[in-house]
């Protein structure tokens, strides 16, 4: 887990900025002061710790709204920064502008200390959580191509020795530390799916195979059932292509169809014992250290 972000406090009245910074500092969060927009922008750019901005709206030279517009243009961190506006002169247009800029709070002056601290804490926690997820995605993408190739080898050839005394059946997968580790890896790999188009231009078959089988493994471990239609929908590829992939997996005896006893129009799909065993061996062979998890 990453550290708490620093808080940038921007107010053209130095006494108010100092008071807010001291209040925030007493919670253990680092607080940095600025008394005008140009200085605040410079400090945001130069200090990568800053992830939350508490700013007055009415300031000379450049308003808080204009200042935040500039912040939003400063790369990834500027787009992700949590913004808290404070003002004693709120109106509807100002509130609309704040919402359009993605403000997480819009506080009226004078702000109660407890209200301010609660808002800052929520914003800091939210920023830290997103930063952790972003860092996980970035490091995972770096090595994902290698993992996909290993996965392809395991699934298509069945190569790789199973570790001794490892649970490989769906029934055993519901319990035990080893099974929990496998599920953690599966969940991790599923979480980086959104990066595939931008960062992993692998062949469609390999990619579809990767996520279909992982989704089936994940659902089997958590006791959920997956219909053929929902698997096609979540695969991220055209439905006709997804159906062909499923047919190929069935032909390879890695998955099997299970009719829905309550609805003849629907069928579920699940891993076969062989498919479950192969993915288990694959997950046992991969360390999450490879992808920074």
Residues 242 and 162 in one domain: yes
Residues 57 and 194 in one domain: no
CATH number of the domain residue 90 falls in: 3.40.50.2300
Residues 264 and 206 in one domain: yes
Residues 106 and 147 in one domain: no
Return the exposure string of 213-246: e unless at least 16 CB atoms fall within 10 Å of the residue's CB, then b. Answer: bbbbbbbbbeeeebebeebbeebbbeeeebbebb
Q: Give the count of domains, the chain.
A: 2
pLDDT at 143: 59
pLDDT at 205: 42
Q: What is the pLDDT of residues 109-159, one digit of tens each?
A: 888 999 999 999 999 999 988 877 765 555 555 556 566 666 667 666 666
Cα–Cα distance, 14 to 229 (Å, whole number): 61
Residues 101 and 158 in one domain: no
Residue 231 lies in a domain: yes
Highest mean pLDDT among 6-20, 156-170, 224-238: 6-20
Q: Which of 42, 77, 111 is at the close of a domain?
A: 111
CATH number of the domain residue 256 falls in: 1.10.10.10
Residues 84 and 219 in one domain: no
Residue 167 lies in a domain: yes
Residue 127 lies in a domain: no
Q: What is the pLDDT of residues 27-80, one digit of tens each?
A: 999 999 999 999 999 999 999 999 999 999 888 778 888 899 999 888 888 989
């Amino acid at each position: 887990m990453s550290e708490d972000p620093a808080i940038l406090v921007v107010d053209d009245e130095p006494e108010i900025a100092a008071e807010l910074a001291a209040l925030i500092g007493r919670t253990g969060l680092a607080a940095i002061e600025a008394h005008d927009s140009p200085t605040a922008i410079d400090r945001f750019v130069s200090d990568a710790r800053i992830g939350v901005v508490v700013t007055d709206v009415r300031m000379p030279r450049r308003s808080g709204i204009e200042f935040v517009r500039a912040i939003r243009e400063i790369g990834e961190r500027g787009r992700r920064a949590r913004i808290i506006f404070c003002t004693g002169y709120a109106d509807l247009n100002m509130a609309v502008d704040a919402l359009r800029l993605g403000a997480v709070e819009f506080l009226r002056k004078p702000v109660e200390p407890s209200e301010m601290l609660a808002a800052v804490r929520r914003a800091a926690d939210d920023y830290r959580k997103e930063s952790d997820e972003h860092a996980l995605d970035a490091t995972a993408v770096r090595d994902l191509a290698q993992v996909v190739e290993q996965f392809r080898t395991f699934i298509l050839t069945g190569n790789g020795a199973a570790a001794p005394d490892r649970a490989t059946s769906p029934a055993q997968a519901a319990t035990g530390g080893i099974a929990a580790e496998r599920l953690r890896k599966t969940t991790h790999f599923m979480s980086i799916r959104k990066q595939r188009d931008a960062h992993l231009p692998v062949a469609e078959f390999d990619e579809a195979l990767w996520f279909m089988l992982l989704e089936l493994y994940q659902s089997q471990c958590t006791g959920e059932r997956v219909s053929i239609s929902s698997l096609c929908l979540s695969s991220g590829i055209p439905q006709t292509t997804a159906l062909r992939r499923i047919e190929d997996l069935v032909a390879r005896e890695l998955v099997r169809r299970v009719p829905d006893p309550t609805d003849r129009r629907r069928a579920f799909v699940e891993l076969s014992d062989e498919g479950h065993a192969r993915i288990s061996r694959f997950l046992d062979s991969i360390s999450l250290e490879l992808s920074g998890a």
